[in-house]
Amino acid sequence: MVTPNNLQEFLKWMDGADQIKVFIHDREVCKRLVEKADFIIMLDFNQPDRLGEMESLVTGSKAMKIVIDHHLDPRGFTDFEITDPAILFYY
């Protein structure tokens, strides 16, 4: 798993959270992971600018891109979108 920036404190309880790669801290490793990906699954956002420095890397990837989200007005930058404002993400 790769995140564009630091993992939020309320997510660090998850098993394996310490293994998540943070792009702003390990750009080369994260870049290789994205470049090798067959699928990129994104959760809880629907606009590519939320990817920060990773935006062009992810949007330019040939990987199948999927977003699962609850926000309105998705930007359509993925191959598949599951967007439902009724979906709640519990942390």
Handedness of CA 4, 49, 68, 40 (dihedral sign): negative
What's the mean pLDDT in 3-19?
Answer: 90
Question: 5 near 23, Cβ under 8 Å?
Answer: yes
Report the distance separating Cα 20 and Cα 78, nearest Å: 22
pLDDT score of 32: 97
Question: 72 near 85, Cβ under 8 Å?
Answer: yes
pLDDT score of 76: 83
**88 has a pLDDT exceeding 80:** no
pLDDT score of 71: 82
Q: pTM of the predicted model, to two decimals?
A: 0.82
Q: Which of 83, 27, 82, 14 is nearest to 2 (CA)?
A: 27
**31 has a pLDDT exceeding 60:** yes
Q: What structural domains and CATH numbers belong to the chain?
A: 2-83 (3.90.1640.10)
